Each structure stands twice: as structure tokens, then as C-alpha cells.
């Protein structure tokens, strides 16, 4: 059974993604024939696929095409979990930017160039950024500037500069501006001292002025200086240098010292909890795990250790950043840290609200970890237990959830500044609220604490 193009894939005349019988294919249209052939014959595809910069694909039978004007049909390798730039930490965005530039350099060596430098063309595959838009390459036209320059500056350079010089939370701007942060907006938000940094003065401030100045120009003037290959390489290196210089050293956040701070668990309690999580994971045997509110990924790594691909979500960009740096330092391939506010998760975005998927559309997970989490949602955010259960029902098949009672020191802190309007927030109330959606398979009390760990299985209708 075929459908038309996949929802987000409609802007490019070169081709599009589509599903047939549940398999994802990329159709290459006749329009792109010359470029695709060069991509292969020049060795660029091989060079990029072998160095893990480009998602590999297999060529499928052209008869599988969705429309008659197909030249080729490709079957790309699937990305385990699709994520978006507004869910990435600072270093994830920076690595995605550097990957894009690296790909462009290799492309230039093979007589080709990227037509797009959109952050949405990068995905994380086994812990590292890869380009997924195989049709983004075009044969190099001598003398022409980089058509993707504007996009690179808006998708990568501007947000990174804003995160470095203003506030890391400005990474969220890409949720609103889905074609990258407009340069003049970045210009007004960045502190004045960035005008003295040559790379930013050039690629953001001066670049923005040029855009505004020529906003009404119907035709591009004939360039007096040709844009030579040397200028091109110089531009890419200049951008690379600009990106590399943007660094962010996180300050202390509320969450970053959580496991060291010790008033939640004794050392024995912590060990016991880890053993239980390990045991429950083994029993449920999931193929994909989502760790919700996973902090720096302590428990996500228990799943990853067993080879289970795990996405580790947390609201705190500092935690996600630390988590990501660890995955890079240790070469971990099974943990994907992402920024996510569970009380306001990534919505569906773009044209018709269908180009970027909401969190729910990217699920469900086989198993979700909700450790030291639910009291923040119920008491901290006033989400009734019943609604919480419904949320989990949509998000996972198995649930490892920790109930943190009112006697716990952390909950007492939450209640210290709130009226206690939570009469049902007890272990019995919790089990009752979750009982209609989930069956309790295991229930264990964590040593030296009042907390209880559950393994629950979603009831199927």
C-alpha cells in the first residue's frame, strides 16, 4: 500500500521520501539525474558513507517508485529516533554544524556542493551527527557563491552564538523559526561586544545588513569579483573557525549535582535502585527505551549497557549537555540525550503542522523509565495521577516508574511552598490511578528510602 510523499518531504523537485508497505524509500526524480550520477561516480557518496558522514542507502528497484518520473529509488538506512535542533544541547548543535561543514569540504574535493545547510538535514545515528538528505548535493558551478550560506548562518551559527553569548535557552528559538533564526533578529539579541568579534561581525551582523539592504533587489547584480574555489574554501574555513570558537561552559544548575547531593538516596539505596532497574529491564526485554527526566543519563546507561538504544530526555540543558559530552568522550552509541520539557513537549510543526513530528508521533517506546519524576509532574505541575497514567499509556508499553511518597524529603520540599491539594497522592492512590491502564508486574521498595519501584505492563484492549 502506497501513500504519497512522507508528510515533511514535498519541497524538493529532486525527489522525496515515501513509505511503501511500511518501508521508507527515497525517490530520485529525473530532474536530479545528473547530480545523482555524479554523486556516485565521483566517489563522493562512498567517501561520505564510509566516514559515517552521510546516511548509507541501498538502491532499490525503480518499479517501486511512487510516481512515473522516477530515475532511481533508494532505500536509506533508518534513523532509530528522529530528533530536531530545538531538542539538541549546545554541543550537539555545534557538532551538527561542524559535520555539515566537513561534508561541504569533502564535497568540494569531489566537484560537488551542498544545496542546503539546514539543521533538519542532520540526524544522530549511533551517537554521531550524519547528513540524511542524500539529494542535497549538486554539481559545483564555478564562480557561484554558496547557495546554502544563508541557511548555515541561520540554522547553526546564529543559534550557537546566541547560546554562547546570551543564554543557552535561546536554542529553543529554532522551534519558532523553522528555517533558522533570522540574522537581523540574532543581531539585535546578541550583545554589542559580538560586533567586535570578526567572525560574528562578518557572518552575522554584516551579513544581516546585506540581506536587509538587498531585500527589494529583483535581480542579483553581476559580480565584479568571481567567487573562486579558493574563496569558497576560504568561506567554509572561516565558518568552521567561527563555529569552533563558540564554546559554552555550563554553570551550576539545579539538577547537575543531583546524584552527589545525597539526600535522596544512601549509597546502598542508590545501588539497590540500579540493581532493580537492571532486573526490570531484563524482564521486560525492550528494544527501545525512553528515559524520561533522565538527568545526566545514569539509568539510561544501564539500558544502553545491555545494547538497548536509549533516548534520554531532560528539561535541563545543562544535564543534556553533560550527558552528551559523556557519550562523545566514551564513544557511546546507544544513548541519545535530548532536551525536552514533559509539561510542554515538542509539538508537530511546519506546513500543515506535519513537517516535524511531535514527541508522541515518534513513539511509543517499548519501555519508559520514569524515575524520580512523577512527583514533579503531579505535585510540581498539578497533573492528576489519572491523566499521568493516560500519558504513559500513549508513550510506552512497559513502564518502570518510581513512586515518591509525601514522606520523602524531596516531596516535602515541593509541598513546603504549595498548598497540599493532593489527597490521592499515596501509594494506594497511585496504584489505583494507574491500574486501569497498567498491570503491576513487580513492586519493590528501595532500601533506606520510602520510595517504591514498579515494573508495569500496559493493558492491551
Partner 1 sequence: MKSRGPWILLLALSVLLIEARPAHAYIDPGTGSYIFQVLIAGFVGAAFAVRVFWRRIRAFFGRLRGRAGSLEAEELPEKDA
| Run of H or E including 261 | helix 258-261
Q: For residues 56 and 39, is the Cβ–Cβ distance under 8 A? A: no
Q: How far is the CB of 243 from partner 1 (least distance, A)?
A: 12
Q: How far is the CB of 113 from partner 1 (least distance, A)?
A: 13
Q: Which residue has the cell 569531489?
A: 110
- Is position 140 an interface residue for partner 1 (rule: CB under 8 A)? no
User: Which CB atom, from 117 or from 372, has the smaller least distance to partner 1?
Assistant: 117
User: Which CB atom, from 28 or from 239, has the smaller least distance to partner 1?
Assistant: 239
- Between the alpha carbon of residue 329 and those of residues 54, 89, 326, 333, 378, the distances in Å are 22, 15, 5, 11, 36
SS3 368: strand
Q: Which of residues 47-106 bind partner 1 (CB under 8 A)?
A: none
28: which residues sit within 8 A by CB, 6+ positions away? 14, 15, 36, 70, 71, 72, 73, 74, 135
Q: How far is the CB of 268 from partner 1 (least distance, A)?
A: 46
Out of 76, 145, 364, 384, which residue is the one contacting partner 1 (CB under 8 A)? 145
Segment near partner 1 (CB under 8 A), from 66-74, 140-148, 291-299, 400-408? 140-148
Cα 323–325–327 angle (5° rounding)? 70
Q: How far is the CB of 164 from partner 1 (least distance, A)?
A: 15
Cell of 225: 569579483
Site string for partner 1, 238-257 (x = CB under 8 A): x--xx--x------------
In whole angstroms, what is the distance from residue 102 CA to residue 104 CA?
A: 5
User: Which CB atom, from 230 or from 254, has the smaller least distance to partner 1?
Assistant: 230
- Is position 11 an interface residue for partner 1 (rule: CB under 8 A)? no
Beta strands in 30-63 (DSSP E): 57-60
Q: Which of residues 384-413 bind partner 1 (CB under 8 A)?
A: none
Q: For residues 258 and 295, is the Cβ–Cβ distance under 8 A? A: yes
User: Which CB atom, from 169 or from 214, has the smaller least distance to partner 1?
Assistant: 214
Site string for partner 1, 214-233 (x = CB under 8 A): xxxx--xx-xxxxxx-xx-x
Total number of residues that touch partner 1 (CB under 8 A): 46
Q: How far is the CB of 239 from partner 1 (least distance, A)?
A: 9
Q: Which residue has the cell 559580538?
A: 194
User: Which CB atom, from 156 or from 290, has the smaller least distance to partner 1?
Assistant: 156
Q: How far is the CB of 458 from partner 1 (least distance, A)?
A: 48
Out of 6, 49, 189, 235, which residue is the one contacting partner 1 (CB under 8 A)? 235
Q: How far is the CB of 224 from partner 1 (least distance, A)?
A: 8
User: Which CB atom, from 245 or from 418, has the smaller least distance to partner 1?
Assistant: 245
Site string for partner 1, 170-209 (x = CB under 8 A): ------------xxx----------xxxxx-xx--xxx-x
User: Which CB atom, from 212 or from 436, has the smaller least distance to partner 1?
Assistant: 212
In whole angstroms, what is the distance from residue 38 CA to residue 438 CA?
A: 54
In whole angstroms, what is the distance from residue 224 CA to residue 167 CA?
A: 40
Segment near partner 1 (CB under 8 A), from 74-82, 119-127, 146-154, 164-172? 146-154
CA torsion angle for 247, 152, 113, 64 (degrees, to 10)?
110
Out of 192, 193, 213, 252, which residue is the one contacting partner 1 (CB under 8 A)? 213
Q: How far is the CB of 69 from partner 1 (least distance, A)?
A: 27
SS3 20: strand
Q: For residues 185 and 122, is the Cβ–Cβ distance under 8 A? A: no
User: Which CB atom, from 214 or from 387, has the smaller least distance to partner 1?
Assistant: 214
How would DSSP label each residue in 200-242? HIIIIIIHHHHHHHTTT-SSPPPPSS-B-HHHHHHHHHHHHHH
User: Which CB atom, from 125 or from 205, has the smaller least distance to partner 1?
Assistant: 205
In whole angstroms, what is the distance from residue 141 CA to residue 146 CA?
A: 10
| Run of H or E including 122 | strand 122-125
In terms of phi and psi (left: phi > 0; alpha: psi -120 to 50; beta: otherwise), the region of 350 is left
Out of 42, 172, 211, 306, which residue is the one contacting partner 1 (CB under 8 A)? 211
- Is position 149 an interface residue for partner 1 (rule: CB under 8 A)? yes
User: Which CB atom, from 184 or from 390, has the smaller least distance to partner 1?
Assistant: 184
| Cβ neighbourhood burial of 263 (10 Å; 0-12, 13-18, 19+) | exposed
Cell of 347: 509539538
User: Which CB atom, from 49 or from 147, has the smaller least distance to partner 1?
Assistant: 147
**Which one-letter DSSP state was computed for residue 195?**
G
User: Which CB atom, from 64 or from 235, has the smaller least distance to partner 1?
Assistant: 235
Cell of 197: 568579534
Residues lying near partner 1 in the complex (CB under 8 A) are found at: 145-147, 149-150, 153, 182-184, 195-199, 201-202, 205-207, 209-217, 220-221, 223-228, 230-231, 233-235, 237-238, 241-242, 245
Amino acid at each position: 500500500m502506497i501513500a504519497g510523499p512522507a508528510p515533511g518531504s514535498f519541497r524538493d523537485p529532486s525527489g522525496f521520501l515515501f513509505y511503501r508497505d511500511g518501508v521508507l524509500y527515497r525517490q530520485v526524480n529525473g530532474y536530479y539525474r545528473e547530480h545523482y550520477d555524479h554523486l556516485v561516480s565521483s566517489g563522493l557518496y562512498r567517501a561520505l558513507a564510509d566516514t559515517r558522514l552521510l546516511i548509507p542507502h541501498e538502491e532499490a528497484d525503480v518499479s517501486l517508485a511512487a510516481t512515473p518520473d522516477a530515475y532511481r529509488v533508494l532505500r536509506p538506512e533508518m534513523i532509530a529516533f528522529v530528533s530536531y535542533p530545538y531538542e539538541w544541547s549546545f554541543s550537539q548543535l555545534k557538532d551538527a554544524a561542524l559535520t555539515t561543514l566537513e561534508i561541504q569540504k569533502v564535497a568540494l574535493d569531489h566537484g560537488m556542493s551542498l544545496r542546503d545547510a539546514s539543521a533538519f538535514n542532520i540526524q544522530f545515528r549511533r551517537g554521531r551527527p550524519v547528513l540524511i538528505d542524500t539529494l542535497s548535493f549538486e554539481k559545483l558551478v564555478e564562480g557561484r557563491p554558496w547557495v546554502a550560506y544563508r541557511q548555515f548562518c541561520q540554522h547553526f551559527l546564529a543559534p550557537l552564538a546566541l547560546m554562547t553569548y546570551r543564554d543557552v535557552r535561546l536554542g529553543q528559538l529554532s522551534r519558532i523559526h523553522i528555517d533558522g533564526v533570522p540574522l537581523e533578529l540574532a543581531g539585535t539579541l546578541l550583545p554589542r561586544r559580538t560586533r567586535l568579534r570578526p567572525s560574528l561581525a562578518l557572518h552575522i551582523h554584516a551579513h544581516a545588513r546585506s540581506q536587509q539592504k538587498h531585500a527589494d533587489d529583483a535581480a542579483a547584480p553581476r559580480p565584479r569579483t568571481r567567487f573562486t574555489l579558493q574563496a569558497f574554501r576560504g568561506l567554509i574555513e572561516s565558518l568552521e573557525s567561527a563555529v569552533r570558537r563558540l564554546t559554552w561552559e555550563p554553570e551550576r544548575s539545579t539538577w547537575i549535582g543531583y546524584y552527589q547531593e545525597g539526600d535522596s538516596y544512601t549509597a546502598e539505596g542508590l545501588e539497590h535502585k540500579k540493581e532493580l532497574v537492571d532486573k526490570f529491564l531484563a524482564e521486560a526485554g525492550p528494544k527501545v527505551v525512553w528515559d524520561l527526566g533522565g538527568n545526566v543519563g545514569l539509568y539510561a546507561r544501564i539500558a544502553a549497557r545491555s545494547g538497548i538504544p536509549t533516548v534520554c530526555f531532560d528539561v535541563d540543558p545543562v544535564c543534556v549537555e553533560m550527558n552528551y559530552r559523556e557519550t562523545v568522550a566514551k564513544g557511546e552509541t546507544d544513548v541519545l540525550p535530548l532536551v525536552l520539557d514533559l509539561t510542554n513537549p515538542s509539538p508537530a510543526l511546519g506546513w500543515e503542522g506535519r513537517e516535524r513530528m511531535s514527541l508522541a508521533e515518534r513513539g511509543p517506546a517499548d519501555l519508559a523509565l520514569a524515575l524520580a519524576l512523577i512527583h514533579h509532574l503531579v505535585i510540581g505541575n498539578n497533573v492528576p495521577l489519572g491523566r499521568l497514567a493516560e500519558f504513559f499509556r500513549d508513550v510506552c508499553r512497559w513502564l518502570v516508574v518510581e513512586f515518591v511518597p509525601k514522606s520523602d524529603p524531596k516531596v516535602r520540599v515541593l509541598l513546603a511552598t504549595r498548598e497540599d491539594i493532593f489527597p490521592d497522592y499515596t501509594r494506594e492512590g497511585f496504584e489505583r490511578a494507574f491500574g486501569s491502564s497498567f498491570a503491576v508486574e513487580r513492586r519493590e521498595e528501595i532500601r533506606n528510602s520510602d520510595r517504591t519501584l514498579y515494573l508495569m505492563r500496559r493493558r492491551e484492549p
